[in-house]
Chains A and B, each alone.
Chain A
Amino acid sequence: MSLPPELEEQRLIVEKIAREVGLDFFDTIFLMVDYPQMCELAAFEGFPRRYPHWRFGMEFERQHKLHGYGLAKIYELVINNDPCYAYLLEGNSLMEQKLVMGHVMAHCDFFKNNAYFRHTNRKMVDGMANHGVRIERYMDIYGVDRVERYIDNCLSIDNLIDPYRMTDAAMSPTQGGLHGVHVDPRSNLEVPRLKSEKSYLEEWINPPEAIKAEREAREAAQLERPRFPAQPERGIMGFLMEHAPLERWERHIMGMLRQEALYYVPQRQTKIMNEGWASYWHSRLMTEHLADSNEILDFAETHSATMAMPPGQINPYKVGLEVFRDIEDRWNRGQFGAEWENCDDMHTRENWNRHLGLGQEKIFEVRRVHNDVTFIDAFLTPELMDRLKMYNYSYDQKRGQWIIESRDCAKVKESMLFQLTNYGQPIIMIEDANYRNRGELLLVHQYDQVGLDKKYARRTLENLAAIWKRPIHVRTIDHRGKTIVWSHDGDKFGTGNETAQS
């Protein structure tokens, strides 16, 4: 499993050169694996040990099929950890192994230096293994089916975390119960009546004025009731961990799964940058230092295969690489700042060169402080978009087809930034954990032109209801632009609008 001598020799060379060109990474340990092991590791997202769950088996089968049909080849698998772990596939050529090593070391540099990774757990290999052991123990105690079913519920909401609250990732599961949720017994606006034996006594036993006064008092109380949470809460998983009526082990598992989800957030926030950075460096290392003359053609072929642009998608490797190269070029030539921005003479712009040579310095700075959203926003220039042949597409209802909508730079960029915001997930927050004063949970989708998928929402709500154990509602806007509320009480799914329900 450790590297054979000739690869170990190469590793030392690659590492030396990588450090010389300025990459700064954790120690990187390469392990040699065969294809079945690679599929297994890929299913486990690179970690040698995970908790038991069927979805890893499903992913394994998928990986295996892709390989069987020759549709895909996993070249690199690297874990953000200190030390970094990366896997090399047995049977790849020496050229490919060198390429992967260079690529991986650049990833490790990114993990270590990018600001968004600052708070990730650098001992996650141990962390994941510990989660595995704990969850296995819970399965021994409470039964595989029960624990697995609960994990399914938790995974349903593992995208509902607050990516800007990485720091409390280690938040320990503490309090239990409906902490802070106060269900007022007077929740029902209908005032109960005392029992009157004789109908003519009704007026005396339940005086209308008194009933009316009580009802008004209840309505007033309803309005005064303090909101909980006081501010809409985006970290739904963390909120449920603290406030849902869970048993200790359930709370614990929710906490572990939340940590895992938070661990992956920076990787999803920097997909384009991370791959672009790694591709930039593998390309430079190979062409300038590592590839022998008889390997260079093979390298070119492999490299261009990873840079392919399948229609209807963007290839993060390609876009990231091109943006980094463009930044380097622009800062080398001084194409930035007010003077550059204000220059609208085509000819001058084309030949603009101040010989500043700041390119290298700039790309290292960019890899430190940006994430995909800011990276694309700041550095994807119209010229570059044109060169990368970017367009945005949408679904044409009339034709029933996906069509290219526009090549207008502003539009394409807007569309791309939308895709990247919250890494392509809808933003959903808890608005009221004591909705209708019944301890029900009201979620709100922050609608921005795109609605939620109803089928998926329905099943997600069902899983959520199993955790919260009270009805769940989500308010969103449907395709006709109307505000609607979808609800699930654990048994039934329902659609309504807010006024009808409150």
Chain B
Amino acid sequence: MATKPDMLNIERDHGRFKEIVKGNIRKNLKEFISSGSILGRRGKDKVSINLPQIDTPRFKFGSKQSSGVGQGDGQPGESLGGDPQQQDGAGQAGQAPGDHALEVDIKIEELAQILGDELELPNIQPRGRKNVASTKEKYSSIRQVGPHALRHFRRTYREALRRQLVVGSYNKDNPVIIPVRDDMRFRSWKSEKAPETNAVIIYMMDVSGSMGDEQKEIVRIESFWLDTWLRSQYQGLDTRYIIHDAVAREVDRDTFFHTRESGGTMISSAYKLCADIIAKDYPVDEWNIYPFHFSDGDNWSLDDTDVCMNLLRNTILRASNTFCYGQVVSAYGSGQFIKDLKEHFGDDEQVILSEIAGRDAIMQSIKDFLGTGR
């Protein structure tokens, strides 16, 4: 075997491995969605997922029953401070601990793709008039002048070599290449126009006393997946968060999910704030706007409900792509609000209503919201 080991069979195997990982996620998607376990493991553009059962099973000893030998200080009876069998990174077969799932990174885009495939979500058609062309500068071009920091060594060398070959000053036995000014090449930028569509999600959540921790967790999980999907559809995605009980205020993401108030509920306060935010920051012809509202369906009074309907009809709906209302079933809520919405907007395609009975219903609810492709 005199050949050099330079063939890249590993790319084939690596691709295959990634396929298997994706297949595994696809198969367990519902579980991943309901458990919410991947939420805390999110990086900038990647998520870490613990995949069970991807290694090759073999007969092996039960881990907690076996004993082993180690080296180092310590008296008999002292704790080792951790599981010695888990530290084994040497990849010896049969030594890896049993419960340990494989942790893999997956790009958020790929995750969105899987979500889209599994739920058969249609791609969103951005509203045409809202396309803004933006220019981007990319260093993909070459010039003959420029700062030395951007010198393109290989091109410069090639030019110099070519010139020396042509004029005959290249000496095979002493292959010194000296570039002159004309040989110099520099990296430079090119402007590219890219159509850009912007989108904003405005999350509104009822944090009144009747919304419990479990209800909030459901909202949190659902919003992660909504984010993931919409991010894959729009290049720039803004998110805004509004919480409300009897009054509404805008908060950051963290507060949004962890606040619990005890007051009553006036949904109109949130809708009013939402309408204000849209008017202030998101000109309708430049933005795709997605208000999502989550509540347990309790509202203070019928009067307030009427105010809500008016706000929706006259301002929010006019500005938005869709308006989504998710009603999380709670032990304390009456669940009346969704009925009112149905009554007023039952045949309006722009309003999407979804009832979320529990964690297992999250997947269906996502499908309700995003299944229209608007």
* B70 interfacial contact with A, CB 8 Å: yes
* A436 interfacial contact with B, CB 8 Å: no
B9 to A453, Cβ gap below 8 A? no
Contact indicator per residue, chain B 64-105, by CB within 8 Å of chain A (1) or not (0) = 111111111111111111111101110111110011001010
Question: Smallest CB–CB gap between B91 and chain A, Å?
Answer: 7
B56 to A155, Cβ gap below 8 A? yes
If A159-B93, A404-B76 touch, does A60 touch B14 (CB 8 Å cutoff)? yes
| Distance of A155 Cα from B72 Cα, bound (Å) | 36
* A495 interfacial contact with B, CB 8 Å: no
* B167 interfacial contact with A, CB 8 Å: no
* B280 interfacial contact with A, CB 8 Å: no
* A89 interfacial contact with B, CB 8 Å: no
Q: Give the residues in chain A near B79, CB-CB below 8 Å.
A: 399, 401-404
* A167 interfacial contact with B, CB 8 Å: no
* A454 interfacial contact with B, CB 8 Å: yes
Count: A-B pairs, CB below 8 Å? 231
* A202 interfacial contact with B, CB 8 Å: no
| Distance of A31 Cα from B3 Cα, bound (Å) | 10
List A40-98 residues whose CB lies under 8 Å from chain B. Answer: 40-41, 43-44, 48-50, 52-62, 66, 71-72, 85
Question: Smallest CB–CB gap between A391 and chain B, Å?
Answer: 6
A457 to B59, Cβ gap below 8 A? yes
List A132-178 residues whose CB lies under 8 Å from chain B. Answer: 132, 144, 148, 152, 155-160
* B175 interfacial contact with A, CB 8 Å: no
B82 to A312, Cβ gap below 8 A? yes
| Distance of A52 Cα from B80 Cα, bound (Å) | 40
Contact indicator per residue, chain B 53-68, by CB within 8 Å of chain A (1) or not (0) = 1101111111111111
If A309-B72, A389-B72, A403-B80 touch, does A445 touch B59 (CB 8 Å cutoff)? yes
Selected interface stretch from A203-211, A339-347, A352-360, A423-431: A423-431
| Distance of A407 Cα from B17 Cα, bound (Å) | 44
Contact indicator per residue, chain B 25-58, by CB within 8 Å of chain A (1) or not (0) = 0000000000000000000000000000110111
Q: Give the residues in chain A near B77, CB-CB below 8 Å.
A: 403-404
List A427-459 residues whose CB lies under 8 Å from chain B. Answer: 428, 445, 449-459
Q: Give the residues in chain A near B78, CB-CB below 8 Å.
A: 403-404
Interface of A, helix, strand, loop or mixed by DSSP: mixed
Question: Which of B73, B82, B85 is the one whose CB lies under 8 Å from A389?
Answer: B73
B68 to A419, Cβ gap below 8 A? yes
Q: How large is the interface on B (under 10, 10 to 19, 20 to 34, 35 or more residues)?
A: 35 or more
Q: Give the residues in chain A near B18, CB-CB below 8 Å.
A: 57
A393 to B62, Cβ gap below 8 A? no
B10 to A456, Cβ gap below 8 A? no
B5 to A41, Cβ gap below 8 A? yes
* A337 interfacial contact with B, CB 8 Å: no
* B138 interfacial contact with A, CB 8 Å: no
Q: Give the residues in chain B near A52, CB-CB below 8 Å.
A: 9, 12-13, 16
* B7 interfacial contact with A, CB 8 Å: yes
Question: Smallest CB–CB gap between B262 and chain A, Å?
Answer: 39
If A59-B91, A125-B1, A312-B82 touch, does A450 touch B66 (CB 8 Å cutoff)? yes
Q: Give the residues in chain B near A452, CB-CB below 8 Å.
A: 59-62
Residue of A nearest to B72 (CB): A311
| Distance of A457 Cα from B98 Cα, bound (Å) | 11
Selected interface stretch from A111-119, A185-193, A313-321: A313-321
A450 to B65, Cβ gap below 8 A? yes
Q: Give the residues in chain B near A312, CB-CB below 8 Å.
A: 68, 70, 72, 80, 82, 84-85, 87
Question: Smallest CB–CB gap between A416 and chain B, Å?
Answer: 4
Question: Smallest CB–CB gap between B55 and chain A, Å?
Answer: 8
Q: Give the residues in chain A near B1, CB-CB below 8 Å.
A: 48, 85, 125-126, 129
Question: Which of B8, B59, B82 is the one whose CB lies under 8 Å from A159?
Answer: B59
Q: Give the residues in chain A near B12, CB-CB below 8 Å.
A: 52, 57
Residue of A nearest to B77 (CB): A403
* B20 interfacial contact with A, CB 8 Å: yes
A315 to B65, Cβ gap below 8 A? no
Q: Give the residues in chain B near A459, CB-CB below 8 Å.
A: 53, 57
Residue of B nearest to A376 (CB): B69
A54 to B16, Cβ gap below 8 A? yes
Q: Give the residues in chain A near B71, CB-CB below 8 Å.
A: 309, 311, 313-315, 318-319, 388-391
If A54-B17, A312-B80, A456-B60 touch, does A33 touch B5 (CB 8 Å cutoff)? yes
Q: Give the residues in chain B near A418, CB-CB below 8 Å.
A: 67
Size of the A side of the interface (Cβ < 8 Å), in residues, is 93
A453 to B63, Cβ gap below 8 A? yes
* A27 interfacial contact with B, CB 8 Å: no
Q: Give the residues in chain B near A31, CB-CB below 8 Å.
A: 4-5
B58 to A157, Cβ gap below 8 A? yes
* B281 interfacial contact with A, CB 8 Å: no
* B349 interfacial contact with A, CB 8 Å: no
B61 to A450, Cβ gap below 8 A? yes
Q: Give the residues in chain B near A56, CB-CB below 8 Å.
A: 9-10, 13-14, 17
Residue of A nearest to B88 (CB): A313
A425 to B60, Cβ gap below 8 A? yes
A57 to B59, Cβ gap below 8 A? no
* A363 interfacial contact with B, CB 8 Å: no
Q: Give the residues in chain A near B88, CB-CB below 8 Å.
A: 313
B80 to A451, Cβ gap below 8 A? no
If A57-B10, A59-B91, A415-B68 touch, does A406 touch B61 (CB 8 Å cutoff)? no
* A412 interfacial contact with B, CB 8 Å: yes
Contact indicator per residue, chain A 272-290, by CB within 8 Å of chain B (1) or not (0) = 0000000000000000000
Other A-B pairs beyond A85-B1, A424-B95, 17, CB < 8 Å: A1-B4, A41-B5, A54-B20, A55-B56, A60-B13, A155-B56, A159-B93, A313-B84, A313-B87, A405-B76, A424-B92, A424-B94, A453-B63, A456-B57, A474-B59, A479-B62, A479-B65
Which 5 pairs across A and B sit closest by C-beta, in order of nearness?
A312-B84, A57-B17, A48-B5, A459-B57, A57-B13
Interface residues of A (CB under 8 A from B): 1-2, 31, 33, 37, 39-41, 43-44, 48-50, 52-62, 66, 71-72, 85, 125-126, 129, 132, 144, 148, 152, 155-160, 309-315, 318-319, 388-395, 397, 399, 401-407, 412, 415-416, 418-419, 424-426, 428, 445, 449-460, 462-463, 474, 479
Interface residues of B (CB under 8 A from A): 1, 3-10, 12-20, 53-54, 56-85, 87-89, 91-95, 98-99, 102, 104
Would you mind naming 21 contact pairs between A and B with Cβ atoms under 8 Å apart? A40-B9, A43-B10, A48-B7, A49-B7, A50-B9, A54-B16, A56-B9, A57-B13, A57-B17, A61-B14, A312-B85, A391-B76, A392-B67, A393-B80, A404-B75, A419-B69, A424-B61, A445-B59, A450-B62, A450-B66, A460-B57
